[in-house]
Amino acid sequence: MRKLLDALRARRTLVENFGYLSAFQVVNMAFPLLTYPYLIRVLEPEAYGTVIFAQGIAAYYSIVINFGFQTSATRDVALHRDDPDKLSEIVSSILQAKLVIWILCLLSLIALVFAIPSFARDKLVYLFAFGTTANRLAFPQWYFQGIEKMKYITIISFWTRALSAVAFFTLIRSSDDYVMLAFINGLTSVVAASVAMTVVVRHGVRLRWQPWERVRDALRRSAPLFYSSGFAAISDQGGTLVVGAMLGKTELAYYNLGERLIVAASSIYYNMGRTLYPNLANSRDHAFSRRVTRLVLMAGLAGSLVMYFIAPVAVQLLGGDTMARSVGVLRILSPYIVFAAMGPLLLNVLMIENRQRSIYPNTALAGAFYVGLLVALTLMDMLTVETVALTFLLSTVVRFAHRCYLIRTHGLTGWFVAPLGNRG
């Protein structure tokens, strides 16, 4: 432990950025949790579930718009952050590619809204929810992470989230105001993205229209990560759509509370891996990676145990008696914290060692397992919010186990375990 602390002191910027990234995640999770008790009681589960379903669809569009740039762009910015011209080229190419994808996604959503009767009844909800994709389009977290200046996104997120919370308490008064909830969420994302882009420009990044060859090259290099994230989204985001479409919006509200709490609890652990990525990409320090791995594993196990035992208290505090069904969901999902903590560490190494193409079959396997198990549960008439939660957890275990296999197969275990001759 002392060696780890000494290494962290020598990497002051790394520690600061982990703090800011953790604060960023806390802000993004804390404000929704603070407003949740009010919203679930005022809107009631049915109306609230409708908004959550629309946001689940927007989340899939967000993955398409991001196109894997969150990881690939972070690496490119980290490698060229001291070259203003190259940095401007990278940022401009990525934003241009995202803009084209965003327009295509918007057109497809409009077609869906007017083609599907159940969507048409709440068309404003789906269109306003699409506004949350502005975070993927023009909130360049990858840029700030690459230059290791995470304080900007933390500050921006805090103030926009705070303003949205004020709007919730002021403007949402009854279950008929669920459209307003979708509007406020979308507007918050647009404002945050606009402010973030202003900061990027003030940093000296010059946004210029790029040749399409350069944009295609950026898309080509990020494509394996996009395919990977697409399959990962099948299990990561699929629960919302499956429960909402097959079990109803009220059941979705139960599932969403358990999922929301587990994601909030695991976000700080997940940030450990994300914070380390730019540093390890440059330093390739195996010894430091091994020490951090041990710390992250112990922290993840402790977090999972704590979440399991406090589940009834957490659900009662946020949702009250009407949301008691969420306790079972949360307890089933509690081991997810361990895999959320350790998974990014494995992904970092595969990226650093240029094994991106291994990520695609990894997430494809987990996605296929998730879909297959859901189909089996449906055929056996065993589909419930609890079995959907268990399916999600098991698919996460499959994805993690296969990543461990990839690390071993490619001879990369030295990032996590010291060679036999070096163990004391």
- Mean per-residue pLDDT over the chain, rounded: 85
- Per-residue pLDDT, 285: 82
Mean pLDDT over residues 249-265, rounded? 89
| Least confident residue range of 15-19, 126-130, 317-321, 353-357 | 15-19
**Cα 332 to the center of its chain, rounded Å:** 20
Mean pLDDT over residues 296-302, rounded? 90
- Per-residue pLDDT, 389: 95
- Per-residue pLDDT, 18: 65
Judged against a pLDDT cut of 50, whether residue 424 lies above it is answered with: no
| Cα gap 352→349, rounded to integer Å | 5
What is the three-state SS of the chain? CHHHHHHHHHCHHHHHHHHHHHHHHHHHHHHHHHHHHHHHHHHHHHHHHHHHHHHHHHHHHHHHHHCCHHHHHHHHHHHHCCCHHHHHHHHHHHHHHHHHHHHHHHHHHHHHHHHCHHHHCCHHHHHHHHHHHHHHHHCCHHHHHHCCCCHHHHHHHHHHHHHHHHHHHHHCCCHHHHHHHHHHHHHHHHHHHHHHHHHHHHCCCCCCCCCHHHHHHHHHHHHHHHHHHHHHHHHHCHHHHHHHHHCCHHHHHHHHHHHHHHHHHHHHHHHHHHHHHHHHHHHCCHHHHHHHHHHHHHHHHHHHHHHHHHHHHHHHHHHCHHHCCHHHHHHHHCCHHHHHHHHHHHHHHHHHCCCHHHHHHHHHHHHHHHHHHHHHHHHCCCCCHHHHHHHHHHHHHHHHHHHHHHHHHCCCHHHCCCCHHHCC
- For residue 7, give every residue at least 6 positions away whose Cβ sits within 8 Å of its Cβ, in sequence order, or none: 288, 291
**What tens digit of pLDDT does each residue of 118-129 get?**
888 899 999 999
| Least confident residue range of 10-19, 144-153, 157-166, 405-414 | 10-19
Q: Say what percent of the chain tops pLDDT 70.
A: 90
- Per-residue pLDDT, 105: 94
In angstroms, the Cα distances linking 11 to 82, 276, 280 are 19, 10, 11
> Taking the model in full, what pTM does it have?
0.75
Q: Which residues of 345-382 are buried (b: 16+ CB within 10 A; e: fewer)?
A: bbbbbbbbeebbebbbebbbbbbebbbebbeebeeeee
| Cα gap 418→414, rounded to integer Å | 6
Of 247, 235, 234, 238, which Cα lies nearest the Cα of 384? 247
Q: 20 vs 345, which has greater pLDDT?
A: 345
- Per-residue pLDDT, 10: 46
**What tens digit of pLDDT does each residue of 23-37 get?**
777 777 778 888 988
- Per-residue pLDDT, 185: 94
Q: Where are the domains of the chain?
A: 2-416
Judged against a pLDDT cut of 70, whether residue 324 lies above it is answered with: yes
- Per-residue pLDDT, 310: 95
**What tens digit of pLDDT does each residue of 259-269 get?**
989 988 887 77
**What tens digit of pLDDT does each residue of 94-138 get?**
999 999 999 999 999 999 998 988 888 899 999 999 999 998 898
Confidence of residue 277 (pLDDT cuts 50, 70, 90): low
**What tens digit of pLDDT does each residue of 338-386 get?**
998 888 888 888 878 888 677 778 888 888 899 899 999 999 999 999 9
- Per-residue pLDDT, 328: 94
| Cα gap 342→235, rounded to integer Å | 18
Q: Which two tokens stand for residue 59?
A: 């989340």
- Give the N- to C-terminal CA distance of the chain in Å, as an integer: 15
- Per-residue pLDDT, 355: 81
- Per-residue pLDDT, 322: 87
| Cα gap 188→181, rounded to integer Å | 11
Number of neighbouring beta carbons within 10 Å of residue 307: 22
